[in-house]
Structure 1
Amino acid sequence: MTIPRRTITLAVLASGLLSGPAWPKDPPLHAVEKAVTDRTGFAVRWQQNAQAREEALTQVRALLKKPLNVDRAVQVALLNNRDLLATLEDVGVSAADLREAGLWKNPSINLSLRFPDRPPSATDAEEGVAFDLLDLLMIPLRKRVAADHLVAAQLRVADEALRLVAEVKAEIYWLQGDAAMLAHRKTIVDVNATAVDLAQRQHEAGNITDLALNQQQATYNAARLALAAAENEQREHREKLNRLLSLWGPDTAWKLTEGLPALPEGNVPLRGLESLAVAQRLDLAAARAELESVVRALGLTKSYRYIGALEFGVDTEHNPDHSNVTGPTLRLELPLFNQGQARVAKSEAELRQAERKLEGLAIDIRSNVRALHDKLAALRETVQFYQKEIVPTQQAVATGTLLRYNGMLLGNYDVFATRAEAADAEQKSIEALRDYWITRTELERVVGGNLHPQRPAKTADYKTN
């Protein structure tokens, strides 16, 4: 039995339409949720309806009832940050574009009526239906381009979530460091206040000069200004964290856990860190997906550059003598003046642009990894030097000064000065430890969210029970 040529053509066309990426089986945000959880251990959710949003708010308020640590703050941000929730919808938009790319364009119907100006007076009518055959042929490749766009959107959104995680962690470390340093600043202020009070009494008794009194007052004023600046900085960081967590009203009355984490054992090794960053950075993966999309779009442009329009249909004309004329119609645009040269040149330029951006991003990532690794190692040495050398030495000096004061070998102001210097050393030690953890967070972000991907991501403590 011979199969008609028309049947073969339709079969080939159908197989082409069915090939290529189909509508994803998993929800579009599943890839985002998995990428964030794998790298950080925290959950991000697509809140598509009022019920899902209310469940997230319930969990957020339960977390806020406990003192905020890094884990709880990050989980609140991923569930509640409005900018992130808005960015998640980019994936929904791209998923809808993928579905749109696989749909046939609706056929067009043409109707016309012509009225004669002399007998016979019967109206001449004509109707036709036409399909855009070119659009039909482009569906498979168009779906692949849209699928690349969806993957790129998923990667960009997941990368935004990781950026938010890093920002929240940094703000928590800032606040924990601020809280610890404020105690030492207040000690410095109290010590200088005592010194000024003593100086005033001695000045009234005529035991010290105006210059000595003014010097003590100036030192006290400087300590008060430093304390006020630190308190203002703490309020600024608290408000920044409120913005990152999208909190307002009574929800901003949260409390913070005290104390920075201790310095971890061992340095973060540089070996393999650059390769790890290139392998797991989501924005770099998004750039690769966008490059693939540009390559496919260029292929689409080149494949159909000579075909501006291709429509096939059926047309029927009703003549005044009541006879009908029916037959196929074909509209083909002749590429006489525009052969798609500009479109091809534009696509090639976009391809080169995407390649250079991808290369530049990879180079920047490697450079940032090296720079932050060096900074982290230097801060680690600084913290250790403060904790093992400077702080113990200042404490020993303060203790020795107090012993000599008790033996009437030193005066009051020597005791005040050594106490202030010891508190200042403690404060700078805490500042260095805070900077270490902030830099470590930045390095985690640059590497792609996790310095040790071979280890299972920890499960964050965000359960409400």
Structure 2
Amino acid sequence: MTAAALPLALAACADTGLVQKASAPRAGYSLVSSGTQQATGAVGVWAQSAAEVAANETKARALVHGKTIGPDTAVQVALMNNRGLQAAYGDLGLSAADLWEVARGPVPTFGVTISGIGEVGLARSLEASVTGAILEAATAKPRRNIAETRFRQAQFAALGSTIALATETRQAWVDTVAAFEAAALIGRAQDTADAASELAVELGRTGAMSRSDQAREHAFTAELAAERADAKLEAQLAKEKLTRLMGLWGADIDYYVPNQLPGLPGRRPGRSDVERLTLEHRTDLAIGRLELEAVAQEYRLSGQTRMLSDVSIVAGATAERSGSPSSRTTEVSPVLEVTFEIPIYDTGSLIARRGEIEYMRAANDLAQKAVNARSEARSAHAAVTGKYNVAKHWRDAVLPLRRIIDEDALRSYNGMLISTFDLITDAREGLEAQLSTAEAKADYWRAEADMTAAIWGGSNGGSRE
């Protein structure tokens, strides 16, 4: 082996196709992009320069500024403008860089040694050598396999982070609109109560209403004012969370949400194949399966290299000059050295035991995740169907009855058949029924968002506390 042959041999270890794949500007993002669109309907964006970030901010501003936005718009803006998600994509980029490095193969080192400086004429000898690690060259393929497995795990982790943000943003939109809807319901009730309170004052002046009845009217109005202020604050805070998830600030926060949530769908929701979809699409299960593969690969690599500890090869040539200045000759001698360290004991049994335990731990962890995923899918399905039934019952059964009661109570009060206290009690119960109906509708839409998290994986995992 010559000094020139070793670099060529080491260069042959490089995987050109894998290098091209890993060195792409957005290596691995195609899986994230397609999975995001399938799960959320939104388009994922990975900005990698200041110009791209500025372009995304401009697009986000055009989508929301001065407009009333729906949940799909909120999710799209979050995926293109949330800087925390962009930072998470950095992990995918780093994993691609690790794969790129491994795919290039071991890098030889070149060294030159000159001896005899100071003697008459040129140096007495010149030694050039190229050093490369046998261990790296011998295990190039399995190490590439491991790096590629870790890279695929990073892809699914990035997809999971994207879907988690989309789910959280959709739920934040639901919370915001539900809070504004509740504030509006209380506001309408307060307007009616204010008019009744003013009438009570006039009736009190004429002696047609007792002092205690006037106090009840005023107390009811004051309580509604406090509840309305609290509802407005809750709506403001909910909108601020939505703004934060969309990555908006400054003048870009000038946007609106609808006054109320969409009505219930006409058809009962639910998916009979939710468990199958969950096992197919859950990102945490995909990562767990790849972890099993990685453990097995690393275990085989450890067994392969345990007797090749710190082995390196040195190949090169030595050029030595001899003789008088007038008849000097140069003799070139090839150099080939191998150095290694021998383990002081055989670690084969230890490595095998460690590999078995590591593999079984990963296998049991994956099995439990699969059990949990199935359960979360069933829970999400039960929640979305159950919340739909509850909301439909409030809308179709409870609320119409409360309206009949309120109308009859007002007629009876105008006919002086019931007291002010009875009217206020009925009004309070009517408002609570309206608020409960609105909250039940919001719970249904939250359950819809949780269904996505259960199938694809996300922060809530199908279970909302």
Decide: shared fold, TM above 0.5. Answer: yes
1:57-92 per-residue CA deviation (whole Å, 9 max, x = no partner) reads 221111013311111111111110111111112221
1:366 aligns with 2:374: yes
SS in 2 for 1:140: helix
Partner residue, 2:53: 53
The alignment status of 1:394 with 2:406, answered yes or no, reads no
Is the contact between residue 213 and residue 421 of structure 2 (CA under 8 Å) also seen in structure 1? no
- Deviation per residue, 1:372-402 (Å, 9 max, x gap): 2222222222211111111111111122223
Residue 184 of structure 1 is matched in structure 2 by 185
Aligned-pair CA distance for 1:182: 1.2
Per-residue CA shift, 1:289-345, capped at 9, x if unaligned?
232122212111111111112222225456685655433111132233364665555
Q: Is the 8 A contact 1:124 1:320 kept in 2?
A: yes
- Amino acid of the residue matched to residue 301 of structure 1? S
- Alpha-carbon distance in 1 for matches of 2:115, 2:302: 40
2:376 touches 2:454 (CA, 8 Å); kept in 1? yes
> Which residue of structure 2 aligns with residue 298 of structure 1?
299
Residue identity opposite 1:24 in structure 2: K
Q: CA deviation at 1:50?
A: 3.2
What amino acid does structure 2 have at the position aligned with 1:360?
A: Q
Instruction: State the one-letter code of the partner of 1:163.
Output: A
Question: Equivalent pairs: percent with the same residue?
Answer: 25
Gaps of 5+ in 1: 1-8, 451-465
| Contact 1:88–1:157 (Cα < 8 Å) also in 2 | yes
Task: Report the 3-state secondary structure (helix = DSSP H, G, I; strand = E; otherwise coil) of the residue aligned with 1:35.
Answer: helix
Q: 2:341 aligns with which of 316, 319, 333?
A: 333
Q: Name the CA distance, whole Å, in 1 between partners of 2:45 and 2:272.
A: 35
Find the residue that maps to 2:344 and give its secondary structure: coil
Within-5 A mapping of 1:139-218: 139-199=140-200, 212=213, 214-218=215-219
Contact 1:20/1:143, CA 8 A, preserved across alignment: no
Corresponding residue number in structure 2 for 1:462: none
- Post-superposition offset of 1:437: 0.3
Secondary structure at the counterpart of residue 405 of structure 2: helix
For 1:342 and 1:356, how far apart are their aligned partners in 2?
Answer: 21
CA contact (8 A) 1:187 1:423 kept: no
* CA distance in structure 2 between the partners assigned to 1:223 and 1:346 by the alignment: 66
Residue of structure 2 in register with 1:133 after alignment: 134
Assess, with a 3 A threshold, how the Cα gap between structure 1 residues 162 and 398 changes in structure 2: closer, same or farther. same
CA RMSD, 1 decimal: 3.4
Per the TM alignment, residue 154 of structure 1 is displaced from its structure 2 partner at its CA by 1.0
* AA matched with 2:388: R
What is the total number of aligned residue pairs between the two structures?
441
Letter in 1 for 2:242: L
Counterpart among 435, 438, 459 of residue 446 in structure 2: 438
Cα distance between partner residues in 2 of 1:370 and 1:183: 35
Q: Are 1:424 and 2:432 counterparts?
A: yes
Equivalent residue for 1:79? 80
Using the alignment, how far apart are the partners of 1:162 and 1:245 within structure 2?
14
Indicate the SS of the match to 1:24.
helix
The amino acid of 1:34's aligned partner reads S
Deviation (angstroms), 1:203: 5.8
Q: What's the counterpart of residue 33 of structure 1? A: 33
Say if 2:417 is the partner of 1:409.
yes
Structure 2 stretches lacking a partner, 5+ long: 1-5, 324-330, 459-465
SS in 2 for 1:335: coil
Q: Per the alignment, do residues 203 and 410 of structure 1 end up closer, same or farther by CA in structure 2, a change over 3 Å counting?
A: same
Aligned ranges 1:5-24 → 2 under 5 Å: 18=15, 21=18, 23-24=20-21
User: Scaled by the length of structure 2, what TM-score is found?
Assistant: 0.84
The change in CA–CA distance for 1:73 and 1:325 in structure 2 (over 3 A counts) is same
| Partner SS state of residue 327, structure 1 | strand
Equivalent position of 1:232 in the other structure? 233
Distance 1:215 1:340 in 2: 85
Which TM-score applies when normalising by structure 1?
A: 0.84
Query: In the alignment, what sits opposite 1:461?
Result: none
- 1:123–1:320: 8 Å Cα contact kept in structure 2? yes
CA contact (8 A) 2:39 2:452 kept: no
Q: 1:213-255: per-residue Cα shift (whole Å, max 9, x none)? A: 5544443343222222211111111110111001111001111
In structure 2, distance between residues paired with 1:187 and 1:421: 14
